[in-house]
A and B are shown apart, each in its own frame.
Chain A
């Protein structure tokens, strides 16, 4: 069983990396990009039966810093 954890900066938290990517896209001539936010994707290969609560705990204890980041868990069959 696999889970994908998406870690993103909370709304309102400045994202300098997103801004740099945005500038680079504009530099390549891509217009129409309003904003860019960068985040992380972490793939977990888990033992069958790992509980949702355990995955949540992994996210809140280590994978995301909930002072500045949100996380979203997507389970993959």
Chain B
């Protein structure tokens, strides 16, 4: 299995993401700088990591989403390559238009940095196949702009299509309908504010995130 982690100026979860993917797949991801214009051949998973790309200038994820590499990521996603965006990566994916809606300043204004309980809403996706629907998991969050917003029609549509992957099981940031993570129409793009890559080994205090990477990698290897 071949994977890539995108690195922007200001990314800071890129190495955590690489470690999580390597732990699950046994292969180091390619680290891809934002100026790259192509995704290397054969890459079947691209991770857009957390951080503060371009200092969050203008809006979180706004500058990164217009960087050369994101045009390539968008094209790859449209071909069916799997894309996982976490935290700032989720913001980048909404700004790119790969996922609907927007992530706004947390309703409580404060930066939120703690473990939160999530409910798995969809266990049929490639990202969530090793979870049970309705199961509660705990992932860390660390964000200032995680307040998911979309208009009512969009919310109804993504709910109806089973595209809400994770929902907060407690109040975190004011997100519409407590949405923590959503899938694209094709099910090959997941964006989420909580950090599965920070919960993959016992030293993290919690391994709930490991199943996301394991399930993804097993699925990709089975289809290869």
Contacts and interface: CB of A to CB of B under 8 A. Distances in A.
B221 interface: no
A65 interface: yes
Interface residues of B, number: 19
B108 A16 contact: yes
A42 to B, nearest CB: 9
B95 interface: yes
B108 A68 contact: no
Interface in A11-30: 13-14, 16-17, 19-20
B62 A65 contact: yes
A68 B150 CA distance: 8
Interface in B136-168: 147, 149-150
B107 interface: yes
Given A65-B95, A67-B150, A68-B149, A14 B58 contact: no
A16 B105 contact: yes
A53 interface: no
B101 A67 contact: yes
21 contacts: A13-B104, A13-B149, A14-B107, A14-B147, A14-B174, A16-B104, A16-B107, A16-B108, A16-B174, A17-B109, A19-B109, A20-B109, A61-B66, A62-B58, A62-B62, A62-B66, A63-B58, A65-B95, A67-B101, A67-B150, A68-B104
Interface of A: 13-14, 16-17, 19-20, 61-63, 65, 67-68
Interface of B: 58-59, 62, 66, 94-95, 100-102, 104-109, 147, 149-150, 174
